[in-house]
Structure 1
């Protein structure tokens, strides 16, 4: 009879996420994961089967959390332009608060590219969901008159996601708050109705 697990798997994933976020996939050793989670090597492998599986689970945990925050803003009150301004402002402030680590998704894309495996599938899923939310908000913005009609919602979504990714890179290289807010304001000015 197998011994019952004496740890919370979701807590272990959360702690592993922070280790990967701090050091990247390649830079995080199994020993780092053991120290971060408080699990022994055999528990890590018996539960998650591999470092890559634990990384994918950590990445999915991160993206679920971040998508939830973004969705709450985009589904919230105000015009589409106001909601997008809040998303951009939130991105700047979050990146400045955690500039040393940046964004786990952007960091992973920079480190690994878009691998043809479960990690790549998690990254593609995150991109699809972000693009869908931004495109829907862009459609709403044309209808409520706060965003200009012209660019397709899909193009606006790509533009916004690229802008946020760029802001995250700016934060990691040490760019100041004012410069980052200026970039966010310029991005918003490119799509708002005049």
Structure 2
């Protein structure tokens, strides 16, 4: 009979995801993971299967946590929708110039999605959730008269997702924060209803 686990699996997953976030998938060794989690190789593999299994669990946890946070941030009453949307875009601009850590989603997708169907599926599910949340927020802002009524909400949600991922990628590369803030200004100006 298998012994019950004596560690907090979600916490171990969070510890492992920080290692993958810092080093990427390929450069993360089992030694990195055991040092970060305090687990032996056998305990780590007993719980997750192998390094790939650890990464998939960490990647899925990261995506789930972020999807939930995004949905909560963008949901609410129609009157505040435009403000929530603008706040969301502005908080994605780095506070300073220079290379940024970036997000595990972007790193993992860039490194693995082309060859790993599980990573591609998890990332695809996250982006679909993100796009739906943006679309719903645009629709709410339109209902309040704060976003142009002639815009298709779904197409606008897809456009904003592209802007957001562009901001993340350029920020990671050290693109000037002021230029990224200007991109947000342009996106919000494009959305603005006449007279707003």
Same fold (TM over 0.5): yes
Alpha-carbon deviation of 1:100? 3.3
Paired position in structure 1 for 2:126: 126
Give the Å deviation of 1:148. 0.8
- Report SS of the residue matched to 2:191: coil
Q: Which moved more, 1:33-42 or 1:68-77?
A: 68-77
TM, length-normalised to structure 1: 0.90
**Cα deviations by residue, 1:20-41 (Å, 9 ceiling, x for unpaired):** 1111111212221111211111
Cα offset for 1:42? 0.8
Match of 2:188 in 1: 188
User: Is the contact made by 1:147 and 1:192 (CA closer than 8 Å) also made in structure 2?
Assistant: yes
Root-mean-square deviation (CA, aligned residues, Å) is: 2.1
**Alpha carbons of structure 1 residues 140 and 166: separation in structure 2 relative to 1, 3 Å:** same
> Is the contact between residue 19 and residue 33 of structure 2 (CA under 8 Å) also seen in structure 1?
yes
Match of residue 110 from structure 1: 110
Partner of 2:20: 20
Tell me the SS of whatever aligns to 1:190.
helix
- How many residues of Structure 1 are paired with residues of Structure 2 in the alignment? 193
Matches within 5 A, 1:32-111: 32-76=32-76, 78-93=79-94, 100-111=100-111
Conservation of the 8 A alpha-carbon contact between 1:19 and 1:36 = yes
Deviation at 1:88, TM superposition (A): 0.5
**Contact 2:16–2:54 (Cα < 8 Å) also in 1:** yes
TM-score in terms of structure 2 length = 0.89
Contact 2:146/2:193 (<8 A) preserved: yes
Secondary structure at the counterpart of residue 47 of structure 2: helix
Pair 1:140–1:114, CA change in 2 (3 A) = farther
Unaligned 5+ runs, structure 1: none
Q: Deviations over 1:73-107 (max 9, x none)?
A: 211454322111011112124x7599532011111
Say if 2:140 is the partner of 1:144. no
CA distance in 2, matches of 1:163, 1:33: 34
Distance 1:98 1:118, change over 3 A: farther
